[in-house]
Amino acid sequence: MRAYYFDNIPGDQRLPHDSTRPVAPETLAALKVSSWAIPVEGHEEKLNAIARERGYKNRDTIDVSKAGMGPIYEDKIKGFFQEHMHEDEEIRYILSGSGFFDVRETPTDEWIRISVTPGDLLVIPEGIYHRFTLDENDNIKALRLFQDEPKWVPYNRGPDTDANPHRIDYLRSIGVGA
Ligand SMILES: [Fe+2]
């Protein structure tokens, strides 16, 4: 997993958009973004241990590819790229393919781009603004882990979402806001 500041240059979201300013693991930790590297070969045991420890009882698999989806692919990935938050953690373990999770750094409001490849387990906290895109390989297969019910409703960024208690709790947890 590699993280860097997004360059904000207009163009295809699937391009790396690497500003060449790296982001240190401590910066991600301060934003409450967690990650582990678990080799795909034989991942079950280690993944199950982390899932048990953190109370992720359930999981399913998501498989997104240009080849598999045809014409709706472009619209679909534009949807993933809308800035939003959730009222629960978003947990992904990459089985194959690759992509980019962008998370908003607060209070700078800069995008941090996290490049994920097979073996990456990424936990994005509830209340953080983020978005996702596939890269130019146009395919990713990932496990989605969750606790009881999946809470994957995206709340797009805006004044209403800024006032969401989960957003406010998140800001408090990173020491921003009251
Ligand atoms: Fe999300």
Going from the Cα of 21 to the center of ligand 1, the distance in angstroms, rounded, reads 24
What is the domain count for the chain?
1
Going from the Cα of 152 to the center of ligand 1, the distance in angstroms, rounded, reads 7
Q: Domain of 93?
A: 2-173
pLDDT in tens, the chain (178 residues): 999 999 999 999 999 999 999 999 999 999 999 999 999 999 999 999 999 999 999 999 999 999 999 999 999 999 999 999 999 999 999 999 999 999 999 999 999 999 999 999 999 999 999 999 999 999 999 999 998 888 889 999 999 999 999 999 999 999 987 5
Question: Is the pTM here over 0.75, yes or no?
Answer: yes
CATH of the domain at 47: 2.60.120.10
Q: Is 139 part of any domain?
A: yes
Q: Is 178 part of any domain?
A: no
* SS3 track for the chain: CEEEEECCCCCCCCCCCEEEEECCHHHHHHCCCEEEECCCCCCHHHHHHHHHHHCCCEEEEEEEEHHHHHHHHHHHHHHHCCCEECCCCEEEEEEEECEEEEEECCCCCCEEEEEECCCEEEEECCCCCEEEEECCCCEEEEEEEECCCCCCCCEECCHHHHCCHHHHHHHHHCCCCC
